[in-house]
Structure formats: structure tokens, C-alpha cells
Amino acid sequence: MLSADWVLPVEGAPIEDGAVAIEDGRIAAVGTVTELGPGERFPGAVIVPGFVNAHTHLEYAVYAGFGDGQSFAPWLAIHIERKARIDRAEMETIARLGAAECLASGVTTVGDAAFAGASAHACATLGLRAIVYLEVFGADPAEALRQYDEKLEYVRPVLSGLVRAGVSPHAPYSCSTEVYAACLELGVPVMTHFNESQDELDWLERGEGPMRPVADFLIDPDGQTGIHRLAGAGLLGSDIVAAHCVKLAADELELLASHDVAVVHCPRSNALLGCGLAPLAELRAAGLRVGVGTDGVSSVPSHDYFEELRAVIAAARARSERADALSPTEALELATLGGARALGMADEIGSLVVGKRADLTVIGLADSAYLPWEDPAAAVVFGGGSHRTLATLVDGETRYEKGGDEWHELIAAAARARSRLLGREPPLE
Ligand SMILES: [Zn+2]
């Protein structure tokens, strides 16, 4: 049993002086302290469902700043060159830091697009719920399935109810329609990147633009965007989770909606890469399942999920020039139930409802500008931060606690891997 000044179940009204009872890893009761008793009490705090970081790349947790400010081609070249310098053990070390940063930010589930699969090992070690989508690339479906099989072999020993495997045909400019078809036939969760940048559309529609110099890595363009290409092949469906969807034409939005494709909104990544702002209001109005993701630290400065939520609200309000475009309560729903729906996990997680997995986070707002309380959702979304996360529980188990002592080792190990990425000798231990 945990209790706090507020419990925000997301499905159901906020509960002042609320408590959550946990039994066998599931939520057994949600109510007031008067009804349930105080259990472990967190004063000045709010209990919310664990956040769902619906699109990230934990394996890039120390890639911060690589290629910043460059256009796609040189940015990609830097990543390819540096990534080749490290091995799987170092990738796991980096992904462990990324998983720990997510837990510290109140995240209890990640939708992780994995180049190697190291993030599956990291999530299993740290107890972070995950769908790890193993990335495949290229034009040849047999080769893509070979990549998938090889990565699946590496992650298989750590797969469980907590850490599951999916597949990620990377993007329409790096995977052929046949590769998408082969991935969808596997019958596992599928994640991809759609319409992230104008560069992507310039290549796919006209074979032009900044992607031209890296044409060796790309699929030959056929004049269509990925969404049109896959729709034409009958491949769009509710089993696809699409990150970004920034440069979306009205007919493409309609195709996504009519085929129930889920979208993950990553506003900091889209802004920092100079890609634009996704049409969140239109996506929501069309009834699409929408979650929020930080994307990788290859394109954003951190896994801080609170920073992402503030960007979600800032982007929505700036784009519409309306202060009521998105409320903290709506942002909190996108962060939890929205992400759970996008990943197809809403029966299990995403809200504090009896019977769901006990994935929750406790955020301490004492000494913040949002106390005494007025709007607890606003306090969490605007006043929260990784430094205010008091505890993160997955399946009712505490997986992060403020003041834990394992951070130094995680950070030092990941910093050594970053030295290797930069082509330098790691510092002596
Ligand atoms: Zn991504």
C-alpha cells in the first residue's frame, strides 16, 4: 500500500489523500486513505500511473550531441562511424544507463527501437517493462529476416512477460515494401519511423535533397511516401506503431486513422533536428492512438520524460496559438494511457485501475512552486522532473528509489563506452 496527497488514476477522477493497494504485482484497490489506510505515506507527493516512453533508443543513451546541427547525411555518417567502434557489451552498458534514466524519470514501460538488442538485456536487468523492436534495414526481405533472427537469438534468453520482442523495419527510405510485408508476417509488434522530415519526403517522392549523398543506404525512390506505398500494398494496420509523423498530408492522416495505425509524438527530437511540429491536434481529433516518446539521446539531450511532456504542451499551444490547446491532464493521459494504447498494452497498464499491473510512479512536489496544491496534474507535468521522482514501481516492485547508490557505477561505465565511441582510450578506472 502506498499513499500520497493525491492519486491521479488517469481513468477515474483525481483522489485527494489517495492510496493504492498492491497485491501480487497488480493493483488491488484505489481509494482514499480513509478507505484503505496510509501504508507507506509520501507527503507532498502525487501517485500517477508509470509513464510510457513509447518511442526511444536506449542503446544511444550516451550519443548526446553527436552530429548536432548537421543535416541528415553527415549526421547519419557520424553515427555509423562511431557505432562501429563499440561491441555488444558496451552497448548493454550504455542501454543500462538509458533504462535507469527512464526509471528515474517515472517511466515504467518503453517502446524501444533497438539497433542491436542490447536494450532488451538492459531492461531485463533493471526491471523496466519493454517492447524491444529489433531494427532491420534494406531492400531484401530474406536479408531483413536474417538480421531479425540474429538479433532475436541474442535477446531470446532475456525475453519474458516483462521484456518482449518486436520488429522495427526502420523507415520507408531504408526498408522496401517487401521488407515491411515480411516484418508484418512475423506476427510480433511492429514499430517504424514515418514522415519524420522533409528530407525523407524529398528522397521518396523525387529522389532529391540532403539524403542523396547517402543513397547507398537507401531504398530507390518510387515517387510515393511510405504511408502511400504501404497503404497501396495493403500493409497499413493497427499492428504498426509509427514514430514522428511530422510532415503529414491530410490524405495520409486519413489513411493512418482509417487503418488504426498508432503514432508516437516526439516533439523535442522533431524540433531539435529541425524537422517541424507534428499535427498532434489533428491526430487526436481523427481518433488515432497517440503516445509520447523521448526518442533517443542521439537526437535529444536526455531521457527526462517531464521535459518531453512540457515540450508536448508547448508545441501544441505554440502551433495553435491557443493556451487551451492541451491541458496538463490531457498531457498526462497521453503519457500513460495514450502510450499504453499506442503499444497495444492498455489492458495491462496505463492507468491505476484494479486488476492492471502495478506500474506507478511517485512524484514529490514539496518545495516546488506548485504547492500548496491547486491542480495536481499541472504540478506533475509542469513542476515535475527526474529529480522529483521519489519511487518508480514496475509490477509492484520498486525499480527506482530516490537516493539509490548504483548511479555512479552506471554513469562511469557508460562514460567509458562513450570514450570508445569518440575514438579515445577510456579513462582508467
Ligand atoms: Zn527513433
15 C-alpha to ligand 1 centroid (Å) = 36
Residue 411 clears pLDDT 90, i.e. is over it: no
Q: Which three cell numbers stand for residue 351?
A: 492507468
Q: Give per-residue pLDDT as tens, 357-396.
A: 999 999 999 989 999 999 999 999 999 999 999 999 999 9
In a domain, 43, yes or no: yes
104 C-alpha to ligand 1 centroid (Å) = 21
61 C-alpha to ligand 1 centroid (Å) = 13
Domain-terminating residue out of 316, 342, 368:
342
Residues 175 and 111 in one domain: yes
Residues 170 and 297 in one domain: yes
Residues 13 and 79 in one domain: no
- Is-contact 319 283, C-beta < 8 A? no
Residues 85 and 152 in one domain: yes
Q: Which three cell numbers stand for residue 231?
A: 497503404
Q: What is the pTM of this model?
A: 0.96
Long-range contacts, stretch 374-377, CB < 8 angstroms, 24+ apart: 375/328, 376/5, 376/6, 376/8, 376/14, 376/46, 377/8, 377/14, 377/327, 377/328, 377/329, 377/332
43 C-alpha to ligand 1 centroid (Å) = 37
In a domain, 112, yes or no: yes
Residues 156 and 225 in one domain: yes
349 C-alpha to ligand 1 centroid (Å) = 23
- In this prediction, residue 429 carries a pLDDT of 57
Residues 97 and 142 in one domain: yes
- At residue 387, what is the residue type? H
Beta bridge partners of 32: 18
Look up the CATH number of the domain holding residue 20. Answer: 2.30.40.10
Provide the domain limits for residue 58: 51-342
Domain-terminating residue out of 321, 342, 363:
342
54 C-alpha to ligand 1 centroid (Å) = 10
Look up the CATH number of the domain holding residue 72. Answer: 3.20.20.140
In a domain, 404, yes or no: no
Q: Which three cell numbers stand for residue 72?
A: 541528415
Residues 44 and 66 in one domain: no
79 C-alpha to ligand 1 centroid (Å) = 13
Say whether 139 sits in a helix, a strand or coil: coil
Q: Give per-residue pLDDT as tens, 170-179.
A: 999 999 999 9
Residues 110 and 184 in one domain: yes
* 360-364: strand order across its sheet: 26-32, 15-23, 2-7, 40-49, 360-364, 389-394, 397-401
Residue 217 clears pLDDT 80, i.e. is over it: yes
Residues 57 and 203 in one domain: yes
134 C-alpha to ligand 1 centroid (Å) = 12
H-run or E-run covering 163? strand 163-169
166 C-alpha to ligand 1 centroid (Å) = 15
Residues 283 and 385 in one domain: no
Residues 88 and 111 in one domain: yes
Count of domains for the chain: 2
- In this prediction, residue 407 carries a pLDDT of 77
Query: What whole-number percentage of the chain has pLDDT above 70?
Result: 99
Residues 338 and 369 in one domain: no
Q: What is the mean pLDDT of the chain?
A: 95
175 C-alpha to ligand 1 centroid (Å) = 14
56 C-alpha to ligand 1 centroid (Å) = 6
The CA distances from residue 313 to 83, 277, 306, 337, 338, in Å, are: 33, 12, 11, 17, 15
The CA distances from residue 404 to 344, 389, 391, in Å, are: 32, 12, 10
Burial class (CB in 10 A: 0-12, 13-18, 19+), 370: middle
Q: Give per-residue pLDDT as tens, 79-88.
A: 889 999 999 9
